[in-house]
Amino acid sequence: KALVAYYQKYVDEASKKEIKDILIQYDRTLLVADPRRCESKKFGGPGA
C-alpha cells in the first residue's frame, strides 16, 4: 500500500497503476483494508 502511495506522489500515474495491477494479481489483501474487528462483549451471557 505504501509503495503504491509513494508512486502516486513522486512518480507518474501510469507506473502506479502498473504496480497496483501486479500487486492485485499477486495478492489482493495487500491493498484492500480488512474491516474485521473483535465483537464487543455481551452482558448477561453464560457465566458464573
- Domain spans, the chain: 1-32
DSSP annotation of 33 reads -
Question: What's residue 9's pLDDT?
Answer: 80
Give the whole-number percent of the chain exceeding pLDDT 90. 0
Q: Report the 10 Å Cβ neighbour count for 10.
A: 8
Task: Tell me the C-alpha distance between 16 and 35, whole Å.
Answer: 24
Cα–Cα distance, 11 to 15 (Å, whole number): 7
**pLDDT tens readout for residues 23-39:** 888 887 777 777 888 88
Model pLDDT, residue 18: 86
Task: From 14, 13, 19, 18, select the one nearest 1 (Cα to Cα).
Answer: 19
Report pTM: 0.48
